[in-house]
């Protein structure tokens, strides 16, 4: 799966000139429920009740897709998030932490 996502990100970048945004599962869960370790049932409940998505009671993939679509809309528009935790996730996605320089181990030779 990791290789496929890398190929897809490269394809998006080459074809459209944009960087793909990777949303970690914990961020998606926090965006929806406020809890980065939320259960599948909580995600489905959010999708059905808050987003009014037509999601089956066991269809966690559809719930994730609906929530991800909502997050993407919020990310790309100027609409205000409805909760503090959604605003925190959007802020983190818009300003990711700087990449750290690789550690270099110095050794001495005697």
Q: Dump pLDDT digits (tens) for 26-47.
A: 999 999 999 999 999 999 999 9
The residue behind tokens 């790309």 is: 76
What is the reported pTM?
A: 0.78
Q: What pLDDT was estimated at residue 65?
A: 96
What is the tens place of the pLDDT at every residue in 60-83?
999 999 999 999 999 999 888 989
In angstroms, the CA 12 to CA 77 distance is: 20
- pLDDT-based confidence at residue 109 (cuts at 50, 70, 90): low
From first CA to last CA, the distance across the chain in angstroms is 46
């Amino acid at each position: 799966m990791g290789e496929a996502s890398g190929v897809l990100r490269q394809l998006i970048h080459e074809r459209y000139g944009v960087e793909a945004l990777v949303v970690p599962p914990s961020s998606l869960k926090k965006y929806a429920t406020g809890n980065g370790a939320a259960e599948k049932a909580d995600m489905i409940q959010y999708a059905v009740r808050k987003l009014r998505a037509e999601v089956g009671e066991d269809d966690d993939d559809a719930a994730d897709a609906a929530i991800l679509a909502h997050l993407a809309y919020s990310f790309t528009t100027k609409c205000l998030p409805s909760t503090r935790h959604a605003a925190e996730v959007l802020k983190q996605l818009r300003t990711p932490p700087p990449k750290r320089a690789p550690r270099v181990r110095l050794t001495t030779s005697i």
